[in-house]
Every structure is written in structure tokens, then in C-alpha cells.
Amino acid sequence: MNQELYKKLLELSPDYKMNYLPSISVDCVVFGFHKASLKVLLTRLKGYEDWMLPGGYLQKDEDLEKSASRILEERTGAKDIFLTQFKSFGKVNRSEMAFDEWPDDLWHKQRFLSIAYYALIDFEQVTPSIDFYSNACEWKDIDELPGMIMDHREILDKALLQLRRDLNYKPVGLNLLPEKFTMPELQKLYEVILGKELNRGNFYRKMKRYDILTKLDETRKGGAHKAPDLYSFNLDTYKKALESGFQESW
């Protein structure tokens, strides 16, 4: 147990009791995509070897939906990230192993549910920074995750499952790809998120049906082969699809 951290949390406990709702914590799963690689933003508490999702608590006068981005910015420095709530985690003993050794006089030792949020951003746009409670904050490759405390690995896995499911009714790619991109580049984004290779013809037809792409009057020069067509997102149809979801299935 890190004594410096314990002293600080004990000192803060009355303030937390006064200004934060009991029983409720908020955790953030931030996926970062850049150049065909998928990562997740993790922090590490002082005195711990295992990593955790950036998280915090809900203020008594704060709407739940506003808490996640505030907490994420306080813990990691990542600003203006739009997070989507996907599930709450509430096993009775979910934090027991991780905080057993902490004294009971800490506000932070009570039973908390975790209300979990996820986001997918370009990880080059965020420079992780540590706060008082942590000694590390880093992007970790999704295929080489370190040990994680409590049920945070389960939360992360569920977030990835949800992100993949959401691809069935929400468009993805804006702010992750350059303004002009090729169909293979868009397909690569989907393949990295889904963790598997996709059939080129099926992918092309599916994207056409979604009607979110504008084919540009230019091609990418430079390769030995036929120059590939360039596309950009049609912001009108893309945003409409974000709001109402693809209805192509039915």
C-alpha cells in the first residue's frame, strides 16, 4: 500500500462524502486507432503493478452523462472525448481483491458499481498525462494487454464486444482516417476493430449500401499498380446514420 496515496485519499474522504454520490463509479474505455493499430488508454495507481481503466466518481450535482468526459480529462488529460455508455458492472465483491489492504476509514473503500463508457479516437490526438493518484498513463496495444485490477479486464473486453456490435448500425471512420482515403484503408480500419480479415467484395457492397461515402474525382498517385479511387465521408448521410442508425438489415 502506497502511504502517500493513502494519506491523500484519507484527507480527501470528507470532501468526497460531501460532494460525490456513494456507490457509483464511472470507468472509461478509450480505444485509440492510428495507422492500422488499435490501442487502449490505461493508468496505474501508485503502489500497484496491475493497470486500470481511467475512472472516478459522480458528483452530487452532476448529470451522469457529463461525468465520464470530466473524469477522463482529470485522470489522463484527454479533452473533449465523446464517450458512449455501454454497461454497468455490479458484482458484490468486484473490488475486494484490489483494495483489501486499505483501511476501512477511506470513502473510496465502499462498494461501488462501475458505469462504463467507451470511445474510439485517433490516439495521436491525445498525449496521456498522469494525475496525483497514478504513476503511469499509457496507450497499450489491444493484443498485448498487461495485468489489470478488479474486473477491469472484463469491462474492457465487453467494451470491445460492444464496439464491434455497434459497427452493425453505426458508421465509423470520421476523425480516424485522413479526409481522403481509399476503400482498402477503410476496410483496414474495420479489420483492426473486428480483429479479422474481411472479404473485399462484400465490404465494398456493404459500404455502398450504407451510402455514407462520396467517390472523389481523383485517385492516389504513386504506386506501381492502377491508382486506387479516393473517397471522403458524406457528412450529411454519415451524421444522419450516426443519429438514427443503419436500417439496412430490415
> Which one of the spans 16-24, 31-39, 100-108, 130-138 is the region binding a second copy (CB under 8 A)?
16-24
Shortest distance in whole angstroms from residue 87 CB to a second copy:
6
Q: Looking at the chain, how many residues does it have?
A: 250
| 22 contributes a contact to a second copy by CB under 8 A | yes
Which residues lie below 8 Å from residue 2, measured CB to CB, with a gap of 6+? 45, 46, 47
Q: Does 184 bind a second copy (CB under 8 A)?
A: no
Q: Output the smallest distance, CB 196 to a second copy, in A.
A: 8
We find the least distance from the C-beta atom of residue 55 to a second copy, in angstroms, to be 15
Residue 194 found at the interface with a second copy (CB under 8 A): yes
Q: Which is nearer to a second copy, 1 or 64 (CB)?
A: 64
Identify the CA nearest to 212 among candidates 177, 184, 168, 174: 174
C-alpha–C-alpha distance, residues 144 and 124, integer Å: 19
| H helices present in the chain, as ranges | 3-19, 64-76, 96-99, 152-166, 183-194, 200-210, 235-244
Q: Which of 190, 231, 233, 238 forms a contact with a second copy (CB under 8 A)?
A: 190
Interaction with a second copy in 146-165: which residues (CB under 8 A)? 165
Pairwise CA distance, residues 154 & 33, whole Å? 21
Q: Are 150 and 166 in contact (CB under 8 A)?
A: no
Which residues of the shown chain bind a second copy in the complex (CB under 8 A)? 21-24, 58, 60-65, 67, 85, 87-92, 111, 113, 115, 165, 167-169, 190, 194, 196, 198, 206, 245, 249-250
